[in-house]
């Protein structure tokens, strides 16, 4: 249990949740200044939701990196993958049937 004066001081002197979320997202791409890191840590003292958000985005990033490292090297690049003509025709037929 924190004294009310400390909690009020933290609320007034730490960034709001919206800004903390932006800072945490930016921190995924580049280091953030010490002053900002301290402000975020102080914010965590009054906001469990932002702290939880940080844990969630770290977990997602870790899982994505792990998935990239275990995917087989011969996995096709989905950005260059194309549907076969036959698959395209089946999709066209199915969408026409849905309209009827």
CA distance 48 to 67: 28
SS3 6: helix
DSSP H helical ranges for 45-84: 48-70
Structure confidence by residue, pLDDT tens digits, 5-36? 988 898 899 999 999 999 999 998 899 999 99
- What's the full length of the chain, in residues? 100
pTM of the model: 0.62
Residue 37 has pLDDT above 80, yes or no: yes
Q: Which residue in 78, 28, 18 sits closest to 50, CA to CA?
A: 18
Judged by average pLDDT, the poorest of 10-14, 33-37, 84-88, 95-99 is: 95-99
Domains of the chain, by residue range, sit at 1-70
pLDDT for 45: 92
């Amino acid at each position: 249990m924190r004294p009310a004066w400390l909690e009020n001081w933290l609320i007034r002197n730490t960034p709001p949740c919206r800004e903390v979320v932006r800072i945490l997202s930016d921190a995924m791409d580049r280091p953030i200044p010490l002053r900002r890191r301290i402000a975020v840590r102080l914010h965590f003292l009054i906001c469990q939701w932002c702290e939880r958000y940080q844990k969630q985005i770290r977990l997602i990033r870790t899982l994505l990196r792990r998935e990239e490292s275990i995917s087989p090297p011969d996995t096709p690049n989905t950005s260059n993958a194309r549907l076969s003509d036959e698959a395209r025709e089946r999709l066209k037929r199915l969408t026409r049937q849905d309209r009827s």
